[in-house]
């Protein structure tokens, strides 16, 4: 039971001998050795080239660094980490910098070096027979999609940032995306990992084995570790057969419960064909239509809630379009669905997906808001959306909840917009902490999580510490201390520091 724990363990939770205080700033000697190792392409200090990578995607955090290190090989990463460990200098690994919780942003005091994996962008091997690919950390997700298509396969994870997100970052954050409903998050697609550990040793775990029962699974430990336990340099990933046919539909419904009922009907009719089931409220769609060029409303009249559905069929199987069309027709007759349209071409399908994938960008253009990447049991989601939305908007008068995302796996982006007549940044500064705490408490009350797919980074450290079972926190700190005793790997991210005299 939460809060009931052996006294000795409880004491360790508050007095872990954390040694981040022993980290040093990079000195000229270390920088000279790194410059000689990496050459001018790999050792970058030009402010014009470094500055774009010092701010997170949401522009909430800004750091500084003495140099951006851009190795071209695993061997160079090994040497970088060895030098950093010897000098007790922190490293902040970074991929495409598309994260949303400040996990790849260096600290503002310039004490850490930024380690970019973007130059390591080779696909080392790809096999249709193995249904596997080995890709380096800097491979861009959309490029991996293209490479898989060439051999008649696909990598079944996609997200809005696929044109810039990298494999190393996706592994390190256990990214989710729009196909988790069928294939699971990144963790379910990782067969193996190559990573440089905090002491500079190389973990070579790139075997594409489906069964490997040799004790603790280090690939799973490194997946989702946000660079705090080592630097992922390559990953072996699972592929699936290419889709032969697909159906993409935009559906208007009255409420989230109708959407969930529709999902279960589709699953009964199509089996595992439904890969994406994205919930979009009218106000999120309105943001996209207002702020994103080249898009248009998919239905003739606005509906309170909408669902974007994608169902996929394999070669020789049933065409999912017919099954989706028949299911929607029956749902309209029953009053479950208000209106619907099914894409008649790939161009139309892309246009429907653009509406969903542009929501985050439209929110960013619209102005600052409080972002919450939450998950609750799927059965609880409709009631949670309807009930808690009203509670929050009532307590914070004039505020508005925009809740969208992956209804099928219980993950919703539950974002709070300040009142329209309030200066947004000032309102967030005054009310943001209380509003987020209320939302996270409501999520915890139904057995949910404050982080479904975006990770903890630095944005959620305090709330993670406040709401997390002490046993879990103790285990995280123990693992971190065991593998990274010097504390050089991405300090200040994911793992909340212990409090107390020895942990300060």
CATH number at residue 430: 3.30.70.2740
Residues 351 and 372 in one domain: no
Contact assessment for residue 126 and residue 147, using Cβ atoms and an 8 Å cutoff: yes
Does the structure show a pLDDT above 60 at 372? Answer: yes
Mean pLDDT of 341-356: 96
Angle value at C-alpha 172, between 487 and 309, nearest 5 degrees = 155
76-128: pLDDT as tens digits: 999 999 999 999 999 999 999 999 999 999 999 999 999 999 999 999 999 99
Please indicate, yes or no, if residue 454 is contained in any of the structural domains: no
Contact assessment for residue 227 and residue 489, using Cβ atoms and an 8 Å cutoff: yes
Distance CA 367, CA 361 (A): 10
Give me the pLDDT at residue 299, please.
Answer: 97
Q: Which of 72, 93, 118 is the C-terminal boundary of a domain?
A: 118
Please indicate, yes or no, if residue 489 is contained in any of the structural domains: no
167-195: pLDDT as tens digits: 999 999 999 989 999 999 999 999 999 99
Does the structure show a pLDDT above 80 at 284? Answer: yes
Determine which of 175-179, 323-327, 500-504 has the lowest per-residue pLDDT on average: 500-504
61-85: pLDDT as tens digits: 999 999 999 999 999 999 999 999 9
Q: Average pLDDT over the chain, rounded to whole?
A: 92
Beta bridge partners of 195: 203, 232
Give me the pLDDT at residue 17, please.
Answer: 41
Give me the pLDDT at residue 21, please.
Answer: 60
Residues 91 and 169 in one domain: no
Does the structure show a pLDDT above 70 at 14? Answer: no
Does the structure show a pLDDT above 90 at 316? Answer: no
Residues 155 and 108 in one domain: no
Q: Which of 445, 461, 484 is the C-terminal boundary of a domain?
A: 445
Please indicate, yes or no, if residue 291 is contained in any of the structural domains: yes
**Between residues 20 and 370, the one the model is more confident about:** 370
Give me the pLDDT at residue 157, please.
Answer: 95
Neighbours of 398 (CB within 10 A): 12
Please indicate, yes or no, if residue 216 is contained in any of the structural domains: yes
Q: Which of 92, 118, 144 is the C-terminal boundary of a domain?
A: 118
- Alpha-helical (H) ranges within 20-73 are 28-42, 47-50
Mean pLDDT of 40-61: 95
Domain range for 147 is 123-241
Does the structure show a pLDDT above 60 at 45? Answer: yes
Give the percent of the chain with pLDDT over 70.
Answer: 94
Residues 296 and 387 in one domain: no
Does the structure show a pLDDT above 50 at 10? Answer: no
- Alpha-helical (H) ranges within 101-223 are 141-150, 167-172, 180-183, 186-189, 218-222
Please indicate, yes or no, if residue 482 is contained in any of the structural domains: no
Give me the pLDDT at residue 500, please.
Answer: 42
**Largest Cα–Cα distance of the chain, in whole Å?**
74
Query: Helix, strand, coil % (nearest 5) of the chain?
Result: 40, 20, 40
Does the structure show a pLDDT above 80 at 12? Answer: no
Residues 233 and 136 in one domain: yes
- Please report, for the domain that includes residue 144, its CATH number: 3.30.465.10
- Please report, for the domain that includes residue 51, its CATH number: 3.30.43.10
Contact assessment for residue 232 and residue 222, using Cβ atoms and an 8 Å cutoff: yes
pLDDT band at 497 (very low <50, low <70, confident <90, very high): confident
Please indicate, yes or no, if residue 478 is contained in any of the structural domains: no
Tally of structural domains, the chain:
4
Give me the pLDDT at residue 499, please.
Answer: 54
- Please report, for the domain that includes residue 257, its CATH number: 3.30.70.2190
Residues 231 and 291 in one domain: no
Please indicate, yes or no, if residue 476 is contained in any of the structural domains: no
Does the structure show a pLDDT above 50 at 18? Answer: no
Neighbours of 73 (CB within 10 A): 14
């Amino acid at each position: 039971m939460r809060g009931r724990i052996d006294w000795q363990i409880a004491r360790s939770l508050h007095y872990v001998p954390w040694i981040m205080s022993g980290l040093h700033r990079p000195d000229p000697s270390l920088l000279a050795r790194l410059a000689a190792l990496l050459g001018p392409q790999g050792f970058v200090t030009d402010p014009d080239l470094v500055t774009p990578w010092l701010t997170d995607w949401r522009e909430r955090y800004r750091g500084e660094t003495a140099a951006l290190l851009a190795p071209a090989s695993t061997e160079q990463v090994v040497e970088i980490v060895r030098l950093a460990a010897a000098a007790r200098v922190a490293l902040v690994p970074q991929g495409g910098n598309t994260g949303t919780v400040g996990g790849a942003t260096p600290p503002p005091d310039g004490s850490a070096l930024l380690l970019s994996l973007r130059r390591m962008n080779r696909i080392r091997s790809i096999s249709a027979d193995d249904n596997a690919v080995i890709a380096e950390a800097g491979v861009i997700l959309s490029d991996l999609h293209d490479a898989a298509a060439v051999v008649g396969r696909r990598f079944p994870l996609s997200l809005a940032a696929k044109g810039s997100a990298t494999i190393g970052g996706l592994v390190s954050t256990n990214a989710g995306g729009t196909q988790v409903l069928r294939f699971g998050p990144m963790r379910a697609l990782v067969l193996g990992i190559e990573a440089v550990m905090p002491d500079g040793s190389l973990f070579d775990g790139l075997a594409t084995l489906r069964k490997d029962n040799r004790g603790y699974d280090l690939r799973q430990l490194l997946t989702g570790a946000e660079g705090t336990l080592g630097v992922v340099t390559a990953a072996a990933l699972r592929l699936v057969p290419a889709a032969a046919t697909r159906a993409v539909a935009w559906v208007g419904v009255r409420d989230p419960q109708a959407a969930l009922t529709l999902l279960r009907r589709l699953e009964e009719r199509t089996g595992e064909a439904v890969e994406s089931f994205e919930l979009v409220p009218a106000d999120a769609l309105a943001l996209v239509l207002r702020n994103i060029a080249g898009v248009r409303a998919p239905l003739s009249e606005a509906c309170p809630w909408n669902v974007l559905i994608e169902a996929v069929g394999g070669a020789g199987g049933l065409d999912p379009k017919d099954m989706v069309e028949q299911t929607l027709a029956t749902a309209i007759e029953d009053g479950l669905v208000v209106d619907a349209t099914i894409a008649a071409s790939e161009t139309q399908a892309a246009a429907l997906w653009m509406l969903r994938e542009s929501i985050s960008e439209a929110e960013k253009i619209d102005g600052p808001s409080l972002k919450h990447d939450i998950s609750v049991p799927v059965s609880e989601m409709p009631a949670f959306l309807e009930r808690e939305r009203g509670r929050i908007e009532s307590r914070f008068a004039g505020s508005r909840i925009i809740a969208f995302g992956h209804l099928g796996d219980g993950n919703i982006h539950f974002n709070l917009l300040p009142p329209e007549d309030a200066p947004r940044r000032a309102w967030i500064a005054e009310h943001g902490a209380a509003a987020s705490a209320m939302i996270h408490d409501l999520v915890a009350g139904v057995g949910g999580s404050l982080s479904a797919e975006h990770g903890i980074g630095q944005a959620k450290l305090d709330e993670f510490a406040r709401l997390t079972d002490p046993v879990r926190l103790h285990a995280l700190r123990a693992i971190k201390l065991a593998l990274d005793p010097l504390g050089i790997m991405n300090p200040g991210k994911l793992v909340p520091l212990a409090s107390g005299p020895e942990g300060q």
